[in-house]
Structure 1
Amino acid sequence: MPPAERALPCYAAEPPQEPLPYGRWGEALGEHFRAAAAGIQTDQQLGEPGEITWFPERTWGGRTYVPGTAPTSEGFELFGFVSYTRDHEGAQATDFSAVVDYTDETAEANPDWTLDLSDQEIDHWRGPEARRGVITLVWGVSLVANGAVATAELGPTTTDQCVLVQDRFTLVSLDDYTGDYVEVRLFAQRGAELARESLYEEEED
């Protein structure tokens, strides 16, 4: 097989290893999520956060990221992640950190959406000739039936994939690199493409 024309970090994050958070573990993560949400600085009245929806965890660079979203009593949506480290498999989680933001763009207000996506930058990456990009955590919900696998695409290259869990998925991908930006695609079990969505809004003419 010939060398790749463009060497990229593909499938570099560990796939999900645990079930979606629930019980005491879900409550512990929720405390960090809500604390980060309480620290959001804005003139908007965000209201009280509702139940948190958790997404499959992914591990990058020795740190595990658990994304989540939550509606608020004022019609906004909180989105972000709780991250932590473990000394070894089975060890207690430590060094917790959480990042949470908000949006007024929700799936309920946009019935034409096929994917409901959120994203946060979690790292940087340097390629050959000092080219730079960012490592982006992307999580979302399939809003169409029969979705099985979501992929991250950077130009012509598939950089990650995740099997859906309760219609939810989490991806980790290089982004904003040499003029290419992440696009998420959703596939059915037999490989038919069901939906695709860029992380970036297209400018209207």
Structure 2
Amino acid sequence: MQAQQDAAARRAEELARQKQEAAQAAYDKNMGYLNEAYANRSNLLQQSYNDALAQLQASYDSGARGVNRNADSAQQQAYINYMMSKRDLPQALAAQGLTGGMSESALAGMYNSYGNNRNTIDRGRNESLAALLDTLNSNRSSALQSYNSQLSAAEQQKMAYQMQLEQALANGSAEILQNKYDTLQNLDNAYAQQILALQQAAAQAAQKRW
């Protein structure tokens, strides 16, 4: 009788050991799948964030080029107008019988007008470039906030899954849960749409400044 009891105890211990080994093996595998899914999610988030920053910068650069191009063109046209008016001024004054001081006064007024035009164009250029830079910095901040929020959510989800795995290990579960973590490694569609909307808004804002 004692021998039978000892044998039964040994079998029970062996089964318990095998169960625990199976549970530990399942835990290790599941943690591997979980860590891989989380790493994929983190990499996708980082790539998405980097791409967003590059697109935001590209929109700013495009807008700045447009602003400078238009301002340079306006400055060139203002100079051409000034030179043409300066060339035609003596003839126009002579036709009106104006000479001497009146001629000098008219020339000074023309030069002042040209200077005012140049200043107005430069102010417009600087204001547009400043607005573009403010938009860029604001969009960068929004992108970073969204990125950090998504990364934090992924970390919390990973921790919740890990706690479940630790509980399963304690209960001796040998279930493999690879498919359960597939969703963790994908980007949230709402986040992708949010980043896309941010990029589109930045592009539209840049075009309006041209």
Q: Which TM-score applies when normalising by structure 2? A: 0.16
More strand, by proportion: 1
Q: Which TM-score applies when normalising by structure 1? A: 0.16
Look at both structures and tell me which one has the larger radius of gyration over its CA atoms: 2
The higher relative CO (CA closer than 8 Å, separation ≥ 6) is in: 2
